[in-house]
Amino acid sequence: METMVELDQLSKHFGPFVAVDGISLKVGKGEVLGFLGPNGAGKSTTMRMVAGFLTPTSGTAKVCGHDVEAEPVLVKSLIGYMAEGSPAYEDMTVRAFLKFIAEVRGLSGQAAAIRIEEAVAKIKLEAVIDRSIEVLSKGYKRRVGMAQAIIHDPPVLILDEPTDGLDPNQKHHVRTLIEEMAAEKAIIVSTHILEEVEAVCTRAVVIGNGKLLADGTSEDLLATLPEHDAIYVVVKPEAVDAAKSKLQAVNGVGHVTHTQRADGAVQIECMPSEGAQIIDGINSALREGAITTSEVYKHRGDLDAVFRQITGGGSTHA
């Protein structure tokens, strides 16, 4: 896989405050990398350094093999960047703004007109093209930000919270757009909406306090949870003790706990010991013991829990 973005020990200090602390990672063509992390973790600062807005305190960021600090203008021409909140010149109409961006990006005349038209059609901005940006809704403003980022068809796209403040339909549209463009580009998307990571990202990194805490597919991240692949069995209260002893005996089952549910039934949680697959064993144990269950399900865990576990936001118990 062709490496498009490469960060090596990238750091940024603001006075005594360390915003980004030695982040190294690679993003290849065809990848959609999700930047996850709590607010203030250093996601935006990292993106701003790659986009050439901030100068790193130490370390390097390379885009298509070119160092951001050494060749800033070249690197900026290879990136489509949408800043957080997609700030745009509010006094301009959408058309004038996109024309300005196209011109600065070296497109002019017919070529610019074609690219603007394509971007507008792709982002569905036709309805507001002649309105001034200050009167647009948040969703449209965000889309203007997207349009300006893709107008020159850049090999690298960096989008800082592209779906923040959008309604579910608009979010879906943005995700579809990202998926459509993914094959040809390297895309970095920051978000704190975790469903987004599962929906569009091929890989995710978790950043906390400026450090890279985890890097992998969303499946990899889920696997770090102790309750990942746990089997939950729901039984009547009187059957709990019998069921628990049966389940405890199943090969691969670690510890077994139970919780009283609001509807009166009891949920028994069987945690697998390291990496074990226990569903078959549990099924046969239930059959042999003739235990009547109302539900049996596998708990994948969710990224919210991973997020809290990795970034230290408290209990991960589902």
Query: Residue numbers of the site for another protein (CB under 8 A)?
Result: 14, 48, 51-55, 72-74, 76-77, 79, 81, 83, 85, 87-92, 96, 100-101, 103-106, 132, 148
Residue placing its CB nearer to another protein in the complex, 51 or 200? 51
Could you tell me the sign of the dihedral formed by the alpha carbons of 44, 50, 54, 55, in that order?
positive
* Shortest CB 215 distance to another protein, Å: 25
Count of H helices and E strands in the chain? 11, 14
Give the shortest CB-71-to-another protein separation in angstroms.
10
**Half-sphere exposure of residue 314: CA atoms within 13 angstroms, side-chain side:** 4
User: Could you give the CA distance from residue 185 to residue 283 in angstroms, rounded to a whole number?
Assistant: 45
Bridge partners, residue 81, by sequence: 158
In angstroms, give the least distance from the CB of 295 to another protein.
Answer: 50
CB of 14 to another protein, least distance (A): 8
Identity of the residue, 96 or 276, whose beta carbon is nearer to another protein in the bound complex: 96
Q: How far is the CB of 88 from another protein (least distance, A)?
A: 6
- Decide: 186 and 30 in contact? Cβ < 8 Å: yes
CB of 30 to another protein, least distance (A): 24
**148 or 190: whose CB is closer to another protein?**
148
By C-beta, is 103 or 117 nearer to another protein? 103
Choice between 40 and 237, CB closer to another protein? 40
**For residue 275, what are its two tokens?**
């990496």
Q: Which of 295, 291, 285 is nearest to 265 (CA)?
A: 295
Contacts of 263 (CB under 8 A, 6+ apart): none
Tell me the CB-side half-sphere exposure of residue 130, using CA atoms within 13 A. 0
Nearer to another protein by Cβ, of 83 and 136: the residue is: 83
Q: Which two tokens stand for residue 260?
A: 């009283």
